[in-house]
Chain A
Amino acid sequence: MLAGSLTILVIDENRIRASIIEAGLRDAGHRHVTVVHDVAGIAKRIAELEPDVIVIDLENPNRDMLENMFQLSRAVKRPIAMFVDRSDRASIEAAVDAGVSAYVVDGLKKERIKPILDMAISRFNAFSRMARELEEARSELENRKVVDRAKGILMKSRGLSEEAAYALLRKTAMNQNRKIAEIAQSLVTAAGLLGPLEGE
Chain B
Amino acid sequence: MSMSAAHQITAGFMPLFDSGVLVAAAEMGFAAHEGIDLKLQRETSWANIRDRIAIGHFDVAHMLGPMPLACSLGLTPLASETIVPFSLGLGGNCVTVSNTVWQGMAAQGAASDLDPARAGAALGALIRERAAAGRREPLRFAVVHPHSGHNYELRYWLAACGIDPDRDIEIVIVPPPFMADALSAGRIDGYCVGEPWNSAAVAAGTGHIVTVKALLWRNSPEKVIGARRAWAEQNPEALAALLRALHHSARWCQDPANRGELAALMARSAFLGQPEAIQMPALTGRLQLGGGAERSVEDFFLPFDKAANFPWKSHALWFYTQMVRWGQLPHTPQNLAIARDCYRPDLYRSALKPLGVALPGANAKVEGALKVATPVGSAGASLVLGPDGFFDGQTFDPDRIDAYIAGQKRV
A residues adjacent to B (C-beta < 8 A): 40, 58-65, 67-69, 71, 81-83, 86, 89, 92-93, 96, 101, 103
* With A96-B52, A96-B57, A101-B51: A65-B77 Cβ-Cβ less than 8 Å: no
Q: What are 28 A-B contacts defined by CB distance under 8 Å?
A: A58-B44, A58-B48, A58-B51, A59-B44, A61-B44, A61-B177, A62-B45, A63-B44, A63-B45, A63-B48, A64-B45, A64-B46, A64-B144, A65-B172, A65-B173, A65-B175, A68-B173, A71-B146, A82-B78, A83-B77, A83-B78, A92-B51, A92-B54, A93-B55, A96-B51, A96-B55, A101-B47, A101-B51
* With A59-B44, A82-B77, A86-B78: A65-B174 Cβ-Cβ less than 8 Å: yes
Nearest B residue to A93, CB-CB: B55
Does B145 sit within 8 A of A, measured CB to CB? yes
Q: CB-CB < 8 A to B54: which residues of A?
A: 92
CB distance from A112 to the nearest CB of B (A): 19
Q: Given A61-B44, A61-B175, 18 other A-B contacts at CB below 8 A?
A: A58-B45, A60-B45, A64-B45, A64-B47, A64-B144, A64-B145, A64-B175, A65-B172, A67-B77, A68-B173, A81-B77, A83-B77, A86-B78, A92-B51, A92-B78, A93-B55, A101-B51, A103-B77
Partner of A62, one of B77, B78, B175: B175
B residues adjacent to A (C-beta < 8 A): 44-48, 51-52, 54-55, 57, 77-79, 144-146, 172-175, 177-178, 187
Q: CB-CB < 8 A to A69: which residues of B?
A: 173
Query: In the complex, A69→B172 CA distance in Å?
Result: 9
Nearest B residue to A103, CB-CB: B77
* With A67-B77, A103-B77: A61-B51 Cβ-Cβ less than 8 Å: no
Q: CB-CB < 8 A to B173: which residues of A?
A: 64-65, 68-69
Decide: A61 and B77 in contact? CB cutoff 8 A: no
Nearest A residue to B151, CB-CB: A68
Q: CB-CB < 8 A to A40: which residues of B?
A: 187
Interface of chain B, helix or strand or loop or mixed?
Answer: loop
Query: In the complex, A71→B70 CA distance in Å?
Result: 14
Q: CB-CB < 8 A to A67: which residues of B?
A: 47, 77
Interface centre among B77, B174, B175, B178 (most CB of A within 10 A): B77
CB distance from B216 to the nearest CB of A (A): 22
Q: CB-CB < 8 A to A71: which residues of B?
A: 146
Query: In the complex, A79→B146 CA distance in Å?
Result: 16
Interface centre among A68, A82, A83, A101 (most CB of B within 10 A): A68
Nearest B residue to A40, CB-CB: B187
CB distance from B49 to the nearest CB of A (A): 10
Q: CB-CB < 8 A to B144: which residues of A?
A: 64
7 nearest CB pairs, A to B: A82-B77, A63-B47, A65-B173, A63-B45, A61-B175, A68-B173, A61-B44
